[in-house]
Chains A and B, each alone.
Chain A
Amino acid sequence: MSAAVLQATGIHKSFGGAIALHDARLTLHGGEIHAVMGENGSGKSTLLAILSGALRPDAGTIGVDGRSVAALDPVAARAAGIAIVHQEPQLAPSLTVAENILMGRLPASGGFLRWQTVNARAQAVLATLGIDVDVRTKVAELSIGRRQMIEIAKGLVDEPRILLLDEATSSLDEADAAILFRLLRALRDRGVAIAFVSHRMTEVMQLADRATVLRDGHFIGTTPVAETDERALVAMMVGRDLKSYWHRAPARPGKVLLDLQNVSRGSLRDVTLTVRAGEVVGLAGLVGSGRSALMRTIAGVRTATSGAIVVDGQRVDPASPAHAHRAGIGYVPEDRKVEGLVMGWSIRRNAALSRMNLRGPLAFLGRAFDEAAFADGSQGLKIKATDSGQRVGELSGGNQQKVVIARELATRPKVLLLDEPTRGIDVGAKEDIYAQIAKLVGEGMGLLIASSELQELLGVCHRICVLYQGRIVAEFDAEEATEEAIAYWASGAHELETPSHGAVPA
């Protein structure tokens, strides 16, 4: 292995008050494939963005070929031979493949594009990738996987010496991923240094020479993949110090309130799951594993193509969110700003938004209706606001989240679905929401919580189901579950070896 071509040390980066990276490190050698690993929010993408010049670190040094680069911006990064491929293709859909690949460096003479050169050069790049696409096709006509390959081709036009891939395979199917892996190995053999972020343990084990693990923005360690195994990597990713400020409500499971029988839709395959009264069930899984898709299917946002959804003994199969509400299902979506709140509205108006749909279209809605919905829904939530007439846009993230929860509770649901209930909110608001969950469980509600924070699931749930590629691959009793075991199943590591973690495949 040759000398380090890229060396980043002591990288600090914070956004507002949130620290994304704290003394992060990464060393890349020519001719290696290097996995950058960590849980959601561990700072992987931020680190890659800094190395590509898209973000500027608050502190730290970045060296290329042993020379320190003072101010790395996208232009300097490109000059240094660094290219980045993003998770989401950043392409202009109405332009052709060739135009996208050569964007910003289209060959021209006298102001006129030389189309033959454009197409020939783009074709040459695609040929090295082994992709068979007519370069005159419009990007809009390509599948997501193909677009991702075009995005990768774009990164290779300048023949970079350092290639960064930020979850570039998350939208590729296996065939396309195989093509990409072959290409990455070929580039490595030519001496290119490659760093890639991936959540898929199988990929890391197959592809990477070394792996660097980050946790909560801290550098945990770099290790040759041949000298470790997936369990050791997972242990590095999740850490072992369980901070505990959760109080799991005592389990008093009653009758079955939510019963999913072989529910399929899109990537969801044969999901079978029950939630009982007085029980909190957790859904673990990586981004794209189907957590949110499952929540949305239960909530009637999209309808299952097969299988049955039974609520409190009645088969419902929600056809719309209003239908789900009438059946007793409440749903707090993942992104409160985009999916949850009407920001220009008052708190009480937002609190009445779900309940009002249980009324007829010409039902009279006055201030009293809103106040009643807010009073019913917000009991125990400790929403901090001047009064219920304050606009939600003025509230903190935690209070906004509480308003969305209040909105759903105002429909008096039997089952409450919470997707990432505490993402991006402060600790105080988190504790209030955990306390509310415990209170609701005590009152006999059934809760289903999807979260990418394993500690949260371990802290509040009685049972935890693990989703991997749209299937429930494991189910744990919360008492026996460990972060390692959940991460093991969620990352697909079980596909590499026979199970040995005590969980029974579901």
Chain B
Amino acid sequence: MTTNDGGQAASGAGVRVGTALRRYLGVGAALVVLIVVLSLMQDNFLRYSNIMNILRTNAVLFVVAVGLTFVIVSQGLDLSVGSMVALGGVFLASMLEAGVPAWPAILLTVLACTFLGALINGGLIAYGGLNFFVVTLGMLQLLRGAALVLSNGVTKSTIAHEPVQWLGDGFVAGFPMPVLIAIVVGIVGYVVMRWTRFGRSVYAVGGNEVAARLSGVNVKAVRFSVYAIAAFTAGIAAVMLTGRLTSSQPVSGALGLELSAAAAVLLGGASFAGGSGTIAGTAIGVLFLGILANGITLAGVPSYWQGIATGVVLVAAIALDRFRSR
């Protein structure tokens, strides 16, 4: 535990939640400002097609970020989710190529990702007591390597497989399917975090692990579960991304996705100190990053600037928050 040593830390923890809320509201307000500015400057911004485009291109990021929110709130981090998405795509494409019917292949992909993440990340961190940073950094390398080895680095088209395309790039009654999936994942994540005992336990472990353990929270099971959840959402994201790209992309697919997702979660009010953050905040964080990127594209600025803008926004948001709380 890094907190709760003495009276100063005690009030500090109180302040932390307060500032998390303020940051959440702060980013929400910044999001509104960004939307207003873009809609004034760019005629195309508020068009239905552009809005749907923003939502569609960020659905994968959001699904991954939902799982990562559980991990970060529990005072952990999963750096392997991007590689997991890439490996999941390779699984899926390979199974389809081998003649496995689409729906079973999709289900198996999600299950395989969940199993891998739970077993290795969850097992080693929760039950082996290894440091989460080391384990998931290793898995970032390992899973990407596995994706390359299994595919020989070759992309495989999945365009012939209707269900995969439908999940990743299709429509239901004119509404984009990936956005629908993201909304469902978001709502389920929100309800679990906010209203269930398990969700409460995740906050308790992140807020004060010792107190959580002594009051009966099964801390190991909670830690195990959050990494399983992160891998589960990465598995869903793998199917969505494969469908959107119409192929598996072992080399470049989902590269750096874990860091974009972490940025969104932090922007949404979570803290690496654990115990704070919400799915609603994460949604705002993802929207902010997505709209920022969209605005840069609409303004005709080279997309290379996206990274710089994201970095500045992230550090500025957290720095502002830190200075205000002093």
Interface residues of A (CB under 8 A from B): 299, 301, 320-322, 324-325, 331, 333, 337-345, 349, 353-354, 356-366, 391, 393-394, 407
Contacts and interface: CB of A to CB of B under 8 A. Distances in A.
B5 A337 contact: yes
Contacts of B12: 393
Nearest to B207: A342
A447 B193 CA distance: 36
Given A361-B196, A365-B196, A365-B200, A340 B214 contact: yes
Q: Is the contact region of chain B dominated by helix, strand, or loop, or is it mixed?
A: helix
B276 A344 contact: yes
A393 B10 CA distance: 5
B211 A342 contact: yes
A295 to B, nearest CB: 11
Contacts of B11: 393-394
Given A338-B208, A339-B214, A344-B275, 18 more contacts: A320-B216, A322-B217, A322-B218, A342-B203, A342-B275, A344-B17, A344-B276, A353-B204, A353-B212, A354-B215, A357-B217, A357-B218, A358-B216, A362-B192, A364-B195, A393-B11, A393-B13, A393-B14
A345 B12 CA distance: 12
Contacts of A356: 197, 200-201
Given A342-B207, A343-B207, A393-B13, A361 B198 contact: yes
A338 B4 contact: yes
Nearest to A400: B10
Nearest to A361: B198
B127 to A, nearest CB: 14
A363 B197 contact: yes
B14 A391 contact: yes
B216 A322 contact: yes
A339 B195 contact: no
14 contacts: A301-B214, A321-B213, A322-B218, A337-B6, A343-B3, A343-B9, A344-B13, A344-B16, A344-B17, A354-B216, A360-B197, A364-B196, A366-B195, A393-B14
Contacts of A344: 13-14, 16-17, 207, 275-276
Contact of B197 (A299, A337, A362): A362
A345 B16 CA distance: 11
Nearest to B199: A365
Contacts of B201: 356-357, 361
A345 B207 contact: yes
A356 B198 CA distance: 9
Nearest to A390: B14
A356 B204 CA distance: 11
Contacts of A353: 204, 211-212, 215, 217
A340 to B, nearest CB: 6
Interface string B14-53: 1011000000000000000000000000000000000000
A361 B201 CA distance: 9
Contacts of B213: 301, 321
B223 to A, nearest CB: 14
Interface in B258-313: 275-276
A320 B218 contact: yes
A342 B213 CA distance: 11
B210 A338 contact: yes
Nearest to A407: B215
Contacts of B4: 337-338, 343
B24 to A, nearest CB: 14
A407 B14 CA distance: 19
Contacts of B17: 344, 391
Nearest to A323: B216
B119 interface: no
A365 B210 CA distance: 22
B225 to A, nearest CB: 9
Contact of A341 (B5, B197, B211, B275): B211
Contacts of A391: 14, 17
Between A331, A341, A343, A394, the greatest number of chain B beta carbons within 10 A of the residue's beta carbon is seen for A343
A343 B14 contact: yes
B195 A365 contact: yes
A408 B237 CA distance: 42
B208 A343 contact: yes
Contacts of B204: 342, 353
B1 interface: yes
B216 A321 contact: yes
A295 B121 CA distance: 34
Given A322-B218, A356-B197, A340 B211 contact: yes
Interface in B209-242: 210-218
Interface in B51-102: none
A430 B215 CA distance: 23
A502 B139 CA distance: 66
Contacts of B14: 343-344, 391, 393-394
Contacts of A325: 216
A18 to B, nearest CB: 12
B198 A362 contact: yes
B75 to A, nearest CB: 12
Top 4 A-B pairs, shortest CB-CB distance: A393-B14, A357-B216, A343-B13, A322-B216
Contacts of A322: 216-218
A351 to B, nearest CB: 11
B280 to A, nearest CB: 17
A393 B321 CA distance: 20
A337 B10 CA distance: 7
A338 B4 CA distance: 6
B207 to A, nearest CB: 4
B208 A299 contact: no
Contacts of A321: 213-216
A29 to B, nearest CB: 38
Contacts of B276: 344
B94 to A, nearest CB: 34
A426 B51 CA distance: 59
Contacts of A324: 216
B293 to A, nearest CB: 33
A214 to B, nearest CB: 24
Given A322-B218, A344-B14, A339 B200 contact: no
Contacts of A363: 196-197
Between B3, B16, B207, B275, the greatest number of chain A beta carbons within 10 A of the residue's beta carbon is seen for B207
Nearest to A363: B197
Contacts of A407: 215
Given A338-B1, A338-B4, A345-B207, A362 B196 contact: yes
B218 to A, nearest CB: 7
B207 A361 contact: no
A26 to B, nearest CB: 28
Contacts of B1: 338
Between A301, A339, A353, A364, the greatest number of chain B beta carbons within 10 A of the residue's beta carbon is seen for A353
Nearest to A331: B214
Nearest to B222: A361
Contacts of B200: 349, 356, 365
Between A320, A324, A338, the greatest number of chain B beta carbons within 10 A of the residue's beta carbon is seen for A338
Nearest to A370: B200
B317 to A, nearest CB: 20
